[in-house]
Amino acid sequence: MIVVDTREQRPYEFPTAYVRDTLQSGDYSLRGFEDRIAIERKKPSELFTNFTSTRDRFRREWERLASHDALHLIIEGDIYSCATQYSDHSRVNPHVVIASLISWSRRFRFKFHFASDRLMAQALTYRILEDYWRANHQTAPSVDGPGES
Structural domains present in the chain: 2-135 (3.40.50.10130)
Q: Is the model's pLDDT at 90 over the cut of 70? A: no
Of 24-28, 41-45, 91-95, 133-137, least confident by mean pLDDT is 91-95
Give the strands of the sheet with 37-42, arranged side by side.
18-21, 2-5, 28-30, 37-42, 70-76, 111-115
- Indicate the average pLDDT of the chain: 88
Please tell me the pTM assigned to this model.
0.86
pLDDT attached to residue 145: 45
Provide the pLDDT confidence category of residue 148 given band limits of 50, 70 and 90: very low
pLDDT attached to residue 81: 79
